[in-house]
């Protein structure tokens, strides 16, 4: 069935709708990873977004339970050049398009995704939608206009669990009650993060993002974890306030949205990137070791550097003054030289903007989980 992608600036590209055949709107963003489509769409950070895959072939190896990054699809829709179902792939438990349809997620294929990505790269991420041809363009445009812009949007509420969940360590970890207890504010945490913590012997508690500081402090955690998640960190002052109460009490580690929330909690600012970082190939330099890691990325906002700079012009570990003392730049994006991670020098806390847990993507930064666990041990 023919359909089309329409952007808020009127750009239209045609394709064939597949999976769920209903109109859908959201912020249109692109991901340059060449594998990991199922992990991507189930990553809660994509809530509210329509995902363009720059890799032309999507669906080649079907879908499987192992590749779920949460319990459901969070991306609003998928835009692809050449999607296939491929239910007969050797490890497939279900075909990709069948599964999207099961999940009531619309998708479109046959789209000149490169032309669309070039447009977004030049003009910035914008609202848009995927529509079957049966939806007239005027109607589609009205639907897009009704979609709130991403800046200022609190989407964490939509993906956070209703109540706390406690997860025991995985594998041959320490005996129950021996490993550290990590309390996480679940703004849409990816399964890979939880798995990486549990595999290292931690008990992980996932709390709704509405949990108060008192409630969290009452858990007597060994450390706090601030998760990834969707939306604009500037719209999450309610969580930022909670985090501010936790800083300095126990080691804190944040990833992606969690990084932004911790930074805001200590008084730093965030801003919206023109079209974000989404993919599996961004080089990030660990300024503490000089090593470069290839990273998994998925964020539309970033933290401002010292003096409000969006990009760093040196590879030095520059410092900020925060409400909790000094912070030092630890990780730098070598593509656009934006902040990718920092550490608080006077209180135990560190964060990264990217995704050390991979899922999908390279495993180069898994060491950060070890560092976190070491920091917990050191603070104990």
Partner 1 sequence: MLLGSGPIVIGQAAEFDYSGTQACKVLREEGYEIVLVNSNPATIMTDPEFADATYVEPLLPGPVAQVIEKERPDALLPTLGGGTALNLARILHEDGTLERHGVELIGADYDAIARAEDRDLFRETMHGAGLRVPRSAIATTLAEAEAARDDIGLPVIVRPAFTLGGWGGGVATTPAQFREVVSRGLAASPIGQVLLDESVLGWGEFELEVMRDRNDNVVIVCSIENLDPMGVHTGDSVCVAPQQTLSDRQYQRLRDQAIAAIRAVGVETGGSNVQFAVNPATDEIVVIEMNPRVSRSSALASKATGFPIAKIAARLAVGYALEEIDNDITRRTPASFEPAIDYTVVKWPRFAFEKFPGIDPELTTHMKSVGEAMAIGRTFQQAFAKALRSRELDAPARLEGLGLDELLDRASTAGPDRFDIVLEALRRGADREDLHARTSIDPWFLRELAELAADPEAPFAGTRTYKAVDTCAAEFEAQTPYFYSSWERSGASEVRRGENPSVVILGAGPNRIGQGIEFDYCCVHAAMEVRASGREAVMVNCNPETVSTDYDTSDRLYFEPLTLEDVLGVLEVERPEGVIVTFGGQTPLKLAAALAEAGAPLLGTSVESIDLAEDRGRFSGLLAQLGLQAPPYATAHGIDEALARAPEVGFPLLVRPSYVLGGRAMEIVYDLDGLADYLFRHAAANGDGKAIFLDRFLENAIEVDVDALCDGERAYVGGVMQHVEEAGIHSGDSACVLPPHSLGEEMLAALHEQTRAIALGLGVVGLLNVQYAVHGDRLYVIEANPRASRTVPFVSKATGVPLAKLACRIMLGAKIDELDLPPESRPLGHVSVKEAVLPFDRFAGTDPLMGPEMRSTGEVMGVAPDFPAAFAKAQAAAGAQLPATGTVFITVTDTDKPAASTVAAQFHDLGFRVVATSGTAQAISRMGVPVTTLNKLGEGSPHVVDWIENGDVDMVINTPVGTGARVDGYEIRSAAVARGIPCITTLSGGIAAARAIAAARHGDPEVLSLQEIHARVDGVGAPA
Catalytic residue positions, numbered? 256, 355, 357
Binders of partner 1 among 117-136, rule CB under 8 A? Answer: 117-118, 121
Name the phi and psi angles at 192, rounded to 5. Answer: -60, -35
Least separation in angstroms between residue 16's CB and partner 1 is 10
- Asked if residue 294 binds partner 1 (CB under 8 A), the reply is yes
Least separation in angstroms between residue 14's CB and partner 1 is 5
- Asked if residue 358 binds partner 1 (CB under 8 A), the reply is yes
Binders of partner 1 among 237-276, rule CB under 8 A? Answer: none
Q: For partner 1, which residue of 280, 330, 343, 351 counts as binding (CB under 8 A)?
A: 280
Q: What is the DSSP letter of 194?
A: H
Dist. CA 263–CA 176, nearest whole Å: 33
Q: Which two tokens stand for residue 262?
A: 């911790």
The DSSP line for 205-244 is EEE-TT--HHHHHTT--SEEEE---SS-GGG-HHHHHHHH
Judged on CB neighbours under 10 Å (0-12, 13-18, 19+), 307 is exposed
Dist. CA 7–CA 19, nearest whole Å: 20
Maximum distance among all Cα pairs of the chain, rounded to whole angstroms: 62
Residues in the chain, total = 380
Least separation in angstroms between residue 80's CB and partner 1 is 11
Least separation in angstroms between residue 35's CB and partner 1 is 4
Name the phi and psi angles at 90, rounded to 5. Answer: -50, -40
Closest to partner 1 by CB, 29 vs 150, is 29
Q: For partner 1, which residue of 76, 200, 282, 355 counts as binding (CB under 8 A)?
A: 282
Number of residues that bind partner 1 (CB under 8 A): 54
* Interface mask toward partner 1 for 315-344; x: CB under 8 A: -------------------xx---------
| Residue 69 near residue 46, CB atoms below 8 Å | no
Angle among Cα 273, 256, 184 to the nearest 5 degrees reads 150
- Judged by the rule CB under 8 A, the positions of this chain that interact with partner 1 are 13-15, 30, 32-36, 39, 54-57, 60-61, 64, 66-67, 81-82, 84, 86, 88-91, 110-115, 117-118, 121, 279-283, 285, 290-292, 294, 334-335, 358-363
């Amino acid at each position: 069935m023919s359909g089309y992608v329409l952007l808020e600036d009127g750009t239209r590209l045609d394709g064939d709708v597949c999976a769920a055949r209903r109109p859908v709107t959201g912020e249109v963003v692109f991901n340059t990873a060449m594998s990991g489509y199922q992990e991507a769409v189930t990553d809660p950070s994509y809530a509210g977004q329509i995902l363009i895959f720059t890799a032309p072939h999507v669906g080649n190896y079907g879908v499987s339970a192992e590749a779920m990054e949460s319990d459901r699809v969070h991306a609003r829709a998928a835009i692809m050049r050449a999607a296939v179902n491929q239910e007969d792939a050797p490890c497939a438990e279900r075909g990709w398009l069948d599964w999207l349809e099961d999940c009531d997620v619309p998708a479109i294929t046959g789209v000149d995704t490169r032309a669309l990505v070039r447009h977004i790269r030049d003009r910035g991420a914008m609202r848009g939608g995927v529509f079957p041809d049966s939806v007239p363009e005027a109607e589609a445009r009205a639907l897009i206009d009704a979609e709130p812009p991403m800046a200022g949007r609190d989407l964490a509420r939509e993906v956070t669990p209703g109540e706390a969940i406690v997860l025991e360590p995985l594998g041959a970890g320490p005996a129950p009650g021996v490993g550290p207890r990590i309390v996480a504010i679940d703004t849409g945490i990816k399964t890979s993060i939880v798995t990486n913590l549990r595999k290292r012997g931690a008990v992980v508690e996932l709390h709704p993002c509405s949990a108060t500081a008192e409630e969290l402090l009452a858990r007597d955690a060994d450390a706090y974890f601030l998760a990834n998640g969707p939306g604009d960190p500037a719209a999450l002052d309610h969580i930022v306030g909670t985090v501010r109460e936790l800083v300095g009490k126990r080691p804190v580690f944040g990833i992606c949205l969690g990084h932004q929330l911790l930074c805001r909690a200590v008084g730093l600012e965030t801003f919206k990137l023109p079209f974000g970082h989404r993919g599996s190939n961004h080089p990030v330099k660990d300024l503490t070791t000089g090593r470069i890691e290839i990273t998994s990325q998925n964020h539309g906002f970033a933290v401002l550097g010292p003096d409000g700079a969006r990009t760093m012009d040196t590879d030095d570990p520059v410092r900020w003054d925060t409400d909790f003392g000094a912070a030092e730049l630890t990780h730098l994006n070598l593509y656009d030289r934006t902040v990718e991670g920092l550490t608080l020098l006077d209180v135990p806390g560190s964060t990264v903007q990217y995704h050390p847990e991979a899922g999908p993507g390279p495993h180069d930064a898994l060491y950060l989980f070890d560092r976190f666990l070491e920091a917990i041990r050191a603070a104990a």
